[in-house]
Structure 1
Amino acid sequence: MFTLRGTWMRGGTSKCWLFNAVDIDPYIADAGGLDNILTAAFGSGDPRQLDGVGGGSSTTSKAAIVRRSSAPGIDVDYLFAQVAIENRTVEWGSNCGNCATAIGLYAVQTGLVAVDDRVTVVRMRNENTGALLSAEIDTPGGRIPVEGDASVPGTTALGVPVGLTFTDPAPVRSAMLPTGAEVDRITLGHNEYSGTFVRAGAPAALFDAADFGLAGSESNSVVAAHVPTLIALRRQAALSMGLSKPEEPVSHAVPKVGIVAPPADYTTTTGQCIVAADYDISVRMLSMMAPHPAIGLTSAVAVAAAATVAGSVVTANARIGWPGSLRIGTAAGVLDVDYIVDHDGLLHSVTLHRAVRRIATADLFVVPVTALVGSRSA
């Protein structure tokens, strides 16, 4: 057993355990790798994660290792981990915008960055994907916030307002559309599904809800019935996007996968009535193997990127009322996204507004299972 200091943060609609690299690096070799440390700390291998700090859901089984960056123009680097629940595995191939907002406030509260007397900007690099992000936090008079009154769809909890910007999430159109097509079509059985595959924020495969016989504004309980089809489509999209090879194991993390549809009246998971005029595009995404309770921020960036592509399934379904702004209707409510395109029509930046709170700083008593096969050692 060893003792690991960590900070528990809520970023938007996710909870993340954040570890300073100086606290976790000394244990990696002896514990058999980061996978071993994190799955033991989170209690993975049990659907309740009873013997660890995981919350038994994809939005509460997340971690990041944070360190000061040596790269010019970057304040902190972070390695994001999506810790599996029922299996002792960790997915390292993606990013989490909600956790990134938490890392921004964490960096300010722990002294990893200098505090400005008006607004502190934390420039971050996600080591998993190379994505560059910045978190903007009000620090009037150099005061570091510990609480706030900002809120986000999907939770009534309040927090410190943090603006998160993804910079150049799709620097060239050819990289943003890995197959080169605005719309790809996949046949499963006797059915054909139209989707737009993008790489911005996170690799994502966005399919037309009409091909599922859905309006796109259904509750997650309805979407859940289509999870097996979406998982099969994700596998085919991964192959088409060059994210996987036929002989490799199936990934349940990348690409992100979901359905899009035109706006329609619907009721959120909290009972709020949303009318079609209040948003621009309906989106229902998966998170690992189940419908996401809201939407991951990296998925929101992908949707915004697809909204800049003429002929994509997003532009075909969206009713955008204001250039540079996209209102995404999710099961939890409406997420506002601001984006900037350059004079060539390429996506320059995407900004989202979140609420963050530090929940605890604690010593975790970790007993790693060193027999884990295939653990990450660095």
Structure 2
Amino acid sequence: MTQTAIPYLFMRGGTSRGPYLNRADLPEDLDTLAQVLIAMLGSGHPLNIDGIGGGAAVTTKVAMLSRSDDDWADIDYFFAQVSVEDCLVDFKPTCGNILSGVGPAAIEMGLTSAQEGETRINIRAVNTGARVSATVQTPDRQVAYAGEAHIDGVPHTAAPVALQFMDTVGGATGAFLPTGNLIDEIDGIQVTCMDVAMPMVIARASDFGLTGYESAAELDDNTEFFARMEAVRLKAGALMGMGDVSKSVTPKFGVVAPARNGGTVATRYFMPWKTHPTMAVTGAQCLASCVLTPGTVADAPTPNERPATITLEHASGQIEVLVDYDPTGNGITINSAGLVRTARKLAAGHVFIPASIWDGN
């Protein structure tokens, strides 16, 4: 045997895609697991030519599922971000877009049963401890992929997957504001460091000489901006108690600007070494929380209603986040955040890796 076959589903989840795997079909040891995922995705080449990755950070993501032993959850979701070119795997963050496909994938894999009409699946995000309820359309107890829901960044409509995120505060750092401050100044740039669903460093686009309305391609070509941003991100990571983050995709970085297309605020999100073509679901929750918290860099009008709908303008359109929160003396308390995404099964079968990396035992 020269290759090891691993069963997989290949799915689009939100505006990302990648393999969805049964955790039981993979090595337990994380170092070996990382090598398996690197080989599977083809990390180490800009086109991922020797794997099933797509040459972009949004297409080199992996979901690993198992039945949960948690009293609340049905499914455990373990996420891995595989780098495109650097042969690195980051198990620290989670991904809300890929999570959009977890419910459908769990049913397809036989890890949970579909109900008539729609099925609610409680998911524990293993990486961060967040709890997420996903409602999947299941007419005739089968996952429905066709539908009329549209999300910006995906060309066609599909069946909606409703997500409700809970326990998202401090998953990586233990605190809503990891530095203890609403605003910190790093290298002359004012930033808000916040940990809601995803630890982030958020700055005003104008402080970097940006409008905040640039396309993803325009930003990716701005090497001077990326160098300045990365310097700020590394120092912010240390201030947030995350240590040396030079080889980690977290904390992520975001910039904000006044809305210009009817949204609450204009945003751009970084992964962090490339511009996200749309918006991360986890990042959207953190940015929405930043908007709702008085005294941050967001400088956006705060809605009066609770729960509040925050509309983030991104590089490919908009995303809405429904945030249930309570104001406190010096900020807010996040109860939950809701979003609607879509997912689609693209392929199923076996993906092969060299047996020299892992023989399947």
**2:179 alignment counterpart:** 179
Q: Deviations over 1:232-282 (max 9, x none)?
A: 1110110110111xxx46134010102111112xxxxxxxxxx3xx21111
Equivalent residue for 1:376? none
Matched with 2:353 is 366
* Distance (whole Å) between structure 2 residues aligned to residue 294 and residue 320 of structure 1: 24
Distance 2:326 2:304 in 1: 19
| SS of aligned partner of 1:158 | coil
Distance in 2 of aligned mates of 1:32 and 1:184: 36
| 2:21 maps to amino acid | F
CA–CA separation in structure 2 for the residues paired with 1:124 and 1:32: 25
Matched residue of 1:159: which SS?
Answer: coil
- Map residues 54-203 of structure 1 onto 2, 5 A cutoff: 54-140=53-139, 142-170=141-169, 175-187=175-187, 192-203=188-199
The residue that corresponds to 1:356 in the other structure is 343
Residue number in structure 1 paired with 2:292: 308
Q: Does 1:317 align with 2:319?
A: no
Distance 1:207 1:343, change over 3 A: closer
Distance 2:285 2:300 in 1: 17
Q: State the distance in 2 between where 1:67 and 1:313 align.
A: 39
Shift, 1:164, TM fit: 1.3
The question of 1:280 aligning with 2:239 is answered no
Shift of 1:149: 2.9
* Partner SS state of residue 108, structure 1: helix
Contact residue 153 and residue 334 of structure 1 kept, 8 A: yes
Q: Do structure 1's residue 251 and structure 2's residue 235 form an aligned pair? A: no
1:191-232 Cα shifts (integer Å, max 9, x gaps): x11111111111001101121122212222333311111111
How many residues align structurally?
Answer: 348
SS at match of 1:150: coil
Letter aligned with residue 3 of structure 1 = A
**In structure 2, what is the Cα distance between the partners aligned to 1:178 and 1:249?**
15
What amino acid is the match of 2:351?
L
Amino acid aligned to 1:332:
S
Unaligned runs of 5+ in 2: none
**How many Å separate the matches in 1 of 2:61 and 2:174?**
31
Q: What letter is aligned with 2:127?
A: N
Contact kept? 1:171, 1:346, Cα under 8 Å = no
Q: Distance in 2 between matches of 1:60 and 1:171?
A: 27
Name segments (4+ residues, structure 1) moved above 6 Å. Answer: 171-174
Rounded to whole Å, the distance in 2 between the matches of 1:358 and 1:98 is 14
TM-score w.r.t. the length of structure 2 is 0.90
Q: Aligned-pair distance for 1:343?
A: 6.5
- Is contact 1:198–1:306 with CA below 8 Å preserved after alignment? yes
- Give the equivalent residue in structure 1 for 2:321: 337
Which letter maps to 1:342?
D
Q: Please say if 1:296 is aligned against 2:280.
A: yes
Equivalent AA in structure 1 for residue 209 of structure 2: G
Conservation of the 8 A alpha-carbon contact between 1:174 and 1:180: no
Q: Using the alignment, how far apart are the partners of 1:361 and 1:110 within structure 2?
A: 10
5+ long unaligned stretches in structure 1: 265-274, 372-378
3-state SS in 2 of match to 1:9: strand
**Percent sequence identity over aligned pairs:** 30
| Other-structure match for 2:9 | 7
Q: Is the 8 A contact 1:160 1:355 kept in 2?
A: yes
Query: Structure 1 stretch 215-224 or stretch 354-363: which is displaced more?
Result: 215-224
The CA deviation string for residues 102-122 of structure 1, in whole angstroms up to 9 with x for no partner, is 111111233322323343111
Post-superposition shift, 1:36?
1.0
The answer to whether the 8 Å contact 1:98/1:296 transfers is: yes
Q: Residue 92 and residue 368 in structure 1: after superposition, are their counterparts in 2 closer, same or farther (change >3 A)? A: farther
Alpha-carbon distance between aligned partners in 2 of 1:206 and 1:46, rounded to the nearest angstrom: 30
Specify the alignment match of 1:326 in structure 2. 310
Mean CA deviation greater in 347-356 or 151-160 = 151-160
Quote the Cα distance in structure 2 between the aligned partners of 1:283 and 1:123.
30
> Where in structure 2 are the equivalents of 1:41-56 lying within 5 Å?
41-56=40-55
Question: What letter corresponds to residue 50 of structure 2 in structure 1?
Answer: D
Could you list the per-position Cα deviations for residues 326-365 of structure 1 after superposition, in whole angstroms to 9, with x for gaps in the alignment?
A: 0000000011111101365411011111111000112112
Q: CA deviation at 1:78?
A: 1.6
Give how far 1:319 is off: 6.3
Which secondary structure does the structure 1 equivalent of 2:150 belong to? strand
Q: Distance in 1 between matches of 2:209 and 2:114?
A: 52
